[in-house]
Amino acid sequence: MPAKEAPISLESAGDLLKKAGLRKTVARVHLLQCLASQTGPRTQAEINADLEPHGFDSSTIFRGLTDLTSSGLVVRLDTGDRIWRFELHDRTSDGDRTERHHPHVVCVECGTLWCLPTDTIERFSDKIPGWQISDLLLRGTCKACAQKT
Ligand SMILES: [Zn+2]
Ligand SMILES: [Zn+2]
């Protein structure tokens, strides 16, 4: 299981937005904190369920996610099932965005997405000479689905 990200304080959420050139809004701060408080990528439906009790409607949440994604703070993952999933872009301890984001493995049965270590990409790159691999998506069957069959 991926390491749980450290929760983002109000100040560091503000810093991240500032570095990304975004104005600090309550919705953006809530979104960053919501995404930092969980272990893997989340769908917009899951994010809505978290933030709607705080008074944000789904269009505000969608706009916020779009802003955070285009600024590079958040990564939007598309695994081909037409459901986007969102997570924070990998950061260095200084809060800067890392050049490359970690890759994922997706369960073809239930769509669950797991985070893989960043160096997984390096290990593949060695086997494909001359290529610069920027992203990697593995497909498989997760433990829970494998046990059902
Ligand atoms: Zn599964
Ligand atoms: Zn991930």
Q: What's the gap in Å between 3 CA and the centre of ligand 1?
A: 20
Token pair in block for residue 103: 């890759």
Instruction: Provide the sign of the torsion angle of the four alpha carbons 55, 61, 67, 71, taken in this order.
Output: positive
pLDDT tens across 97-149, in order? 888 899 999 999 998 899 999 888 888 888 888 888 888 899 999 999 999 87
- Which residue's structure tokens are 């955070």? 68
Q: Report the C-alpha gap between 43 and 25 in whole angstroms.
A: 21
More confident residue, 62 or 81: 62
The bridge status of strand 113-115 relative to strand 104-107 is antiparallel
Alpha carbon of 6 to ligand 2 centroid (Å) = 14
Q: Structural domain boundaries of the chain?
A: 1-97, 100-149
Q: Which CATH superfamily is domain 100-149 in?
A: Ferric-uptake regulator, C-terminal dimerisarion domain (3.30.1490.190)
pTM (predicted TM-score): 0.86
- In this predicted structure, what is the pLDDT of residue 144? 95
1-97 belongs to CATH 3.30.70.20: no
| Ligand 1 mean position, distance from CA 13 (Å) | 32
